[in-house]
């Protein structure tokens, strides 16, 4: 019998992606400190946060396999957090307009014995130049809420001029790497 699989995320996109593997799983969001440390490298940050999420939920659910991920948007070396106000969205979208945005994702899996493994995927998108009208419309839709960098690929793909890397990674859960880690954790996939 396979151990129970838990997705340590409240992201609907991650749940949708994980379902594509044909797994039954439960959801238990991990609440960890996602504050960026002073001078923290973006890749070190995303790995630290993903591993913390997986470890926390695994500690609360011994004997289970836990999947966690983190996917910030990075402009240069600056991590774009999740905006809380319309003004923060305006600033972020203006900064990203016409530019290449790096989207690193780390998926971390803890097996039923407590062994933690992770994989890092680095993708990027280049956005078209956004008009003020497009920015204001995006704010009005509310689609930016709960999203790092104020953009969700599935809602703003028409703004993307170029994309490189893992589409599912950009959406929050790189499928190929997730499947590898789940198999390494003893989960049989269809």
Whether 118 sits among the annotated catalytic residues: the reply is: no
Q: How far is CA 43 from CA 15, 40, 96, 113, 122, in A?
A: 23, 8, 19, 27, 9
Contact (CB, 8 A) for 138 and 94 = no
Q: Determine if residue 82 is left, alpha or beta; phi over 0 gives left, psi from -120 to 50 gives alpha, anything else beta.
A: beta
DSSP per residue, 74-132: EETTEEE----SHHHHHHHHHHHTTSEEEEEEEEEEE-TTS-EEEEEEEEEEEEPPPPH
* Structure tokens belonging to residue 111: 């097996």
- Rounded to whole angstroms, how far apart are CA atoms 121 and 126? 17
Catalytic residue among 70, 111, 118, 155: 70
Please give the backbone phi and psi of residue 116, each rounded to the nearest 5 degrees, phi first.
-105, 130
Question: Is-contact 69 14, C-beta < 8 A?
Answer: yes
DSSP state of 11: -
The span from the CA of 155 to the CA of 172, in Å, is: 13
What pLDDT shows up at residue 117? 99
Per DSSP, 61 falls in state S
Tokens representing 144? 């930016």
| pLDDT at residue 154, rounded to an integer | 80
Q: Is the dihedral of CA 20, 23, 28, 33 positive or negative?
A: negative
d(CA 103, CA 189): 27
Query: What are the per-10-residue average pLDDT scores of the chain (190 residues)?
Result: 93 94 95 91 97 98 98 93 93 96 98 98 97 96 89 87 95 97 95
Q: Would you tell me the crossing angle of helices 86-96 and 132-141 to the nearest 10 degrees?
A: 140
Cα(81)–Cα(148) distance, integer angstroms: 5
Q: What local confidence, expressed as pLDDT, does residue 153 receive?
A: 80
């Amino acid at each position: 019998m396979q151990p129970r699989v838990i997705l340590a995320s409240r992201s609907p996109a991650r749940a949708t992606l994980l379902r594509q593997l044909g797994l039954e799983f439960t959801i238990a969001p991990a609440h960890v400190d996602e504050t960026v440390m002073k001078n923290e490298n973006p890749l070190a940050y995303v790995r630290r946060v993903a591993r913390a999420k997986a470890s926390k939920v695994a500690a609360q659910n011994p004997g289970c396999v836990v999947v966690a991920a983190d996917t910030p948007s990075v402009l240069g070396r600056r991590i774009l957090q999740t905006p809380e106000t319309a003004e923060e969205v305006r600033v972020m979208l203006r900064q990203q307009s016409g530019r290449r945005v790096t989207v690193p994702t780390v998926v971390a899996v803890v097996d039923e014995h407590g062994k933690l493994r992770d994989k890092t995927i680095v993708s990027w998108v280049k956005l078209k130049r956004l008009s003020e009208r497009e920015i204001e419309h995006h704010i009005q839709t509310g689609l930016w809420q709960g999203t790092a960098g104020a953009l969700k690929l599935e809602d703003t793909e028409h703004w993307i001029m170029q994309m490189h890397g893992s589409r599912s990674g950009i959406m929050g859960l790189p499928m190929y790497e997730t499947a590898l880690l789940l198999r390494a954790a003893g989960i049989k996939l269809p």
